[in-house]
Amino acid sequence: MRENKVKNKFWVFFLGSIFALILLEIILRLASFTAERLWLPRYSFSPLNKNIRTIVCLGDSFTYGIGAGFENAYPAQLEEMLNKKFQKEKFKVYNLGVSGANSAFVLNKLKNMLGKISPDFVVVLVGANDSWNFESGAGADNWDVRVKIIMANFKLLKLTAVTMNNLKYCLIAQEYSQGRKHFFLKQDDINKLIAQANDFREKHDFKNAERIYKQAMFIKGWDALVLLELGRLYKLMNRYEEAISVLRKALFSEPEFEEVYFELDDIFVNQKKFKEQVSFYESIYGFFPRNTFVKKRLLGSFIAFADYCYLKGDYGSVIFYYEKALELDPDNESIYTRIYYNKALGKIGKKTAKMRMVEKIARENPRLNIDDYVQENMYNNLTNVAQICRTRNIELIFSDYPEQSFAAVKSVAEKYKVSLVDNSAVFKKNLAGQKRSRYFILADDHHCTKEGYAIIAENIAEAIIKIIEK
C-alpha cells in the first residue's frame, strides 16, 4: 500500500513537471509571437519616389541596435549620413535586424522581403548567433548536430542556454573584478590576463591557467592569441583533441597566424596523425581557397603523409597524395617529391596505382563536427543570399562585427566579389588609447554605444558611396 502511494506521488510529480514544461514552452512561444509584432518595426514598404535609393539592413542585435536603441542603430545613422552626403537624391534605410537572428533567418527574411520591395542595396551583418541558434538550419550528417538543431526549436531550451551563459559571465565578471574596475578594460588588461595565465602554465598550475585563459576569451571573444595560448596549454596537458579544436578556431580568426600552424603540426607529427593532418588542412583550405598561406600548409601535409605512407609500404597512397600535391602546385619539380613518386611507381606499377586511386585509398573524410557545421551552414546560407542579390541586380554588402569576423563571410565575399566592410580593423585602431566604454556598453559585451554604431554606419556608408561613384 505504501509503495503504491510512493509510485503515485512519483507519477503525479513526473507528469506535473512535464505538463509545466509544456505550458512554459507554450507561454514562451506566445510571448515571442507577441513581442515580434509589438516591438519589432513593421514597414509597409510603400512605393517611393524614383530619386530615393532604398537600403535594407539585415542581421541580428547589432543591426537592431541593442545597447543604443533602435533610433540610434547603425541603419538610422546610415540614412542620416547618406542624406547629408548627397543633395540631388535621397536614401531610405530599412532596419530589419532581429536579436538572436542567424544566417538562415537572414536568408528567409530576404526571400520574404523581396516580394514586397526591390532595394538598391542589401547590407548583411550576421554570424555571431550561428554557433548557438540552429533554428532553420539545414540537415547535418551526424547526430550531434541533428540533436542540437532539433533542440534549437524549443524556446525553453533557448531561454535556459541564454540564462546559463549570462550566469557564467556574471561569475567570471565577479571573479575578475576583484581588485580592478571590470567595466573599463583595455587591451593591456587582456595582455596582463594572458601573461598571468602563461605564468600559471609555466608553473604547471594548469587549472588556474585554463580558468584565466577562459576569462580572457569571454572578454575578447575568438581572439587568436588567447586561443593559441589555450591550445598550448591543452597540448601540455595531453588533451590533444581540445588543443586542435581551439587552434582551429584561432585559424578561423587569423588564417595566417604562423605560430598556430607550428603548434598544430607539432601535435600531428608527434602523435603520428598524418592522415588527420591532411583532413584538417583540407577543411581549412575549403574555407580559404584563395589563401596562399593555407594552400602551402595543405601542400606540405600531402607531401608529409605521402612520405609516411612510403615508409609503411603503402605505395598506392604515396601516388595518390603526391598527385593531390601536384594538383595544388602543378609546377612543383621538387626532387624530393619525384624520388618517392617514381619509387612507388616502380614497385607496384602504374596499373595497380590507378586501381588503388580509383578505390580512393586513404581518403576518408573526418566526421562533421559542430564547428564545421556552423561554418558550412553559414557559408551555404550566405551563398544563397549572394546568388539572390546577383540575380536581382541588388548591390550586396557584407559587414564584419566590431570585434569579430567569420571565415564563411569572407569566403562568400571573395567568391562573389561582394563588398566586405572590415569593422573589426577600424575598431581595433580606434580603441588604441581610448576607453572601451566610449564605443561599447560593457567591457565584455560587444554591443555598441551610439558612437560605436556611428563607426559601423560610417564604414558602410563609405562602401555604398564607392559603389555609387563607380
How confident is the model over 291-301, as pLDDT tens digits? 888 888 888 88
Residue 240 and residue 271 in contact, taking contact as beta carbons nearer than 8 Å? yes
205-221 average pLDDT score = 82
Same topology between domain 185-271 and domain 273-366 = yes
Residue 419 and residue 460 in contact, taking contact as beta carbons nearer than 8 Å? no
pLDDT value of residue 354: 39
Tens of pLDDT, residue by residue over 152-178, are 556 566 666 556 555 544 544 444 444
Tens of pLDDT, residue by residue over 337-363, are 555 555 555 554 544 443 343 333 333
pLDDT value of residue 176: 41
**Least-confidence region, from 20-34, 263-277, 311-325, 357-371:** 357-371
Tens of pLDDT, residue by residue over 269-287, are 888 888 888 989 888 888 8
Give the CATH number of domain 273-366; options: 1.25.40, 3.40.50, 1.10.10, 1.20.144.
Answer: 1.25.40
pLDDT value of residue 178: 40
Q: What does the alpha-carbon distance between residue 458 and residue 463 come to, in Å, rounded to a whole number?
A: 9
Q: Could you confirm whether domain 185-271 is CATH 3.30.1330.40?
A: no
Please tell me the CATH code under which domain 56-138+371-468 is placed.
Answer: 3.40.50.1110
**DSSP structural state of residue 125:** E
- In percent, how much of the chain has pLDDT > 90? 27
Quote the distance between the C-alpha of residue 22 and its chain's center: 32
Higher-pLDDT residue of 234 and 362 is: 234
Sign, CA dihedral 299-303-304-306, equals positive
Beta strands in 300-444 (DSSP E): 395-399, 419-421, 440-442
H runs (alpha helix) in 312-334: 315-328
The pTM of this model reads: 0.54
Could you state, in order of their start, the residue ranges of all structural domains in the chain? 1-35, 56-138+371-468, 185-271, 273-366
**CA 23 → CA 19, 20, 120, distances in Å?**
6, 5, 45
pLDDT value of residue 139: 44
Residue 448 and residue 402 in contact, taking contact as beta carbons nearer than 8 Å? yes
pLDDT value of residue 365: 37
423-449 average pLDDT score = 82
pLDDT value of residue 135: 60
Residue with cell 542567424: 102
pLDDT band for position 56 (cuts 50, 70, 90): very high
Residue with cell 552626403: 85
175-187 average pLDDT score = 42
Higher-pLDDT residue of 2 and 201 is: 201
pLDDT value of residue 373: 65
Q: What does the alpha-carbon distance between residue 63 and residue 97 come to, in Å, rounded to a whole number?
A: 5
pLDDT higher than 70, residue 179: no
Residue 460 and residue 399 in contact, taking contact as beta carbons nearer than 8 Å? yes
pLDDT value of residue 383: 94
Residue with cell 532596419: 95
**Least-confidence region, from 262-271, 365-374, 452-461:** 365-374
Averaged pLDDT of the chain: 77
DSSP per-residue codes, 25-73: HHHHHHHHHHHHHHTS---------TTEEEEEEEESHHHHTTTT-GGGS
pLDDT band for position 51 (cuts 50, 70, 90): confident
pLDDT value of residue 48: 65
Tens of pLDDT, residue by residue over 314-339, are 777 777 787 788 778 776 666 355 55
Higher-pLDDT residue of 82 and 430 is: 82
Higher-pLDDT residue of 402 and 185 is: 402
pLDDT value of residue 182: 41
